[in-house]
Homo-oligomer: A and B are copies of this chain.
Amino acid sequence: MENPYYGNEAHGPYEVHDIGRLDLEEGGILDSCKLAVATHGQLNERGDNVILIPTWYSGTSKIWEQVYIGKGRALDPSKYFIVVINQIGSGLSTSPHNTSGLQSGPNFPRIRIGDDVRAQHRFVTETLGIKELALVTGGSMGAQQTYEWAVRYPDMVKRAAPIAGTAKNTEHDFVYTETLIDAIVTDPKFAGGKYSNAQDVADGLKRHAKIWTVMGWSTEFFRLGRHKDLGFADMVSFVDQFMTGYFAPMDPNDLLCMAWKWQHGDVSRMTGGDLSKALGRITAKTFVMPISHDMFFPPSDCEPEQKLIPASEFRPVRSVDGHLALFGTDAAALAQIDATLKELLDASV
């Protein structure tokens, strides 16, 4: 299905790499798994300056380029070779909407965080020839992938900075995500995923945007009028223009692919359900970086995980913007993330 939102024009520059067949943890395969990858900077001779960044729900490599990567920043392309890999289902990499044939749209197979990380591992090791990662970092679902990387490939990951995400999704977050899914799939025009145009599902996407409004920011954010600081006259225009506008062009089946993956994130699948054992495998120096006012990946859910990671520190980021401070709306929070990542990158391992 054509969708003009996804492409180099809005999200580039990035390159699409076919990594071949990917066996999926939930069964089935992706025949030829394509990863959309944006890189910044150059690999150095020792091959020890690689930063890997997996993307979050609904986001792409573009926001990392726009908000986090730059000369003088922690993620400095003049020092590091920064590889941002769009997750499966993101709309840029292999996704329901850009898959034709039997796996198209609603027939796209279930994808797990582990599938993404194995795909990314194959790409960075085989295509790029990379042997170690100076840092893996990502926000939200990018944090889920960061944890998965650190648990699955401990020898390769030297440093890890999961921001606003957990290693094992909580029951609360699971139900939250289910309300997002419900908002989309109960729109009659979703038609079991067989809509002819993503925009047909506008009502469902708007309800999905409203629930994001409630949980994505924080009560403090709205009390302090931060939505008005961002240039919106009132809550109605914030919901209609910013939040609904953000999600409206996206493909519902793509979002649902990511939502299911998000719900089921759990590194303890690698250790028979033993989270302590899974996180105990991490050898990376790890900064666990929840956001203070996050309503669904709150610090209180992240700190118990941090305590299970050997060489780790708890480094919460203060922002009343909550989870969506990830968007870069809070300059002070961005500065704090920058300083924390810099400190981690500068730490010897």
A residues adjacent to B (C-beta < 8 A) = 170-176, 178-179, 182-183, 186-188, 203, 207, 210-211, 213-215, 217-223, 227, 234-235, 239, 295-296, 298, 300-301, 304
Contacts and interface: CB of A to CB of B under 8 A. Distances in A.
How many copies of this chain? Answer: 2
Given A219-B296, A300-B219, A182 B207 contact: yes
Contacts of A176: 214
Contacts of A170: 219, 222-223
B210 A175 contact: yes
Contacts of A182: 183, 207, 210
A234 B174 CA distance: 12
A214 B223 CA distance: 20
A300 B220 contact: yes
Contacts of A220: 300
19 contacts: A170-B222, A171-B222, A172-B214, A172-B217, A172-B218, A173-B219, A174-B235, A175-B214, A175-B235, A179-B210, A182-B210, A186-B186, A186-B203, A211-B211, A214-B215, A219-B296, A219-B298, A223-B300, A223-B304
A172 B239 contact: no
A172 B210 CA distance: 10
B239 A175 contact: yes
Contacts of A173: 219
Contacts of A188: 188
A187 B211 CA distance: 17
A210 B295 contact: no
A183 B203 CA distance: 12
Nearest to A225: B171
Contact of A219 (B207, B213, B223, B301): B301
Contacts of A239: 175
A172 B222 CA distance: 6
B179 A207 contact: yes
A8 to B, nearest CB: 35
Nearest to A204: B186
Given A171-B222, A220-B300, A222-B170, A179 B211 contact: yes
Given A186-B207, A214-B215, 5 more contacts: A171-B222, A179-B210, A186-B187, A186-B203, A219-B301
Contacts of A183: 182
A213 B300 contact: no
A57 to B, nearest CB: 16
Given A179-B210, A179-B211, A172 B301 contact: no
B213 A175 contact: yes
Contacts of A187: 186
Contacts of A219: 170, 172-173, 295-296, 298, 300-301
A222 B203 CA distance: 31
Contacts of A207: 179, 182, 186
Q: Which 5 A-B pairs have the closest CB atoms?
A: A171-B235, A172-B222, A176-B214, A219-B298, A172-B219
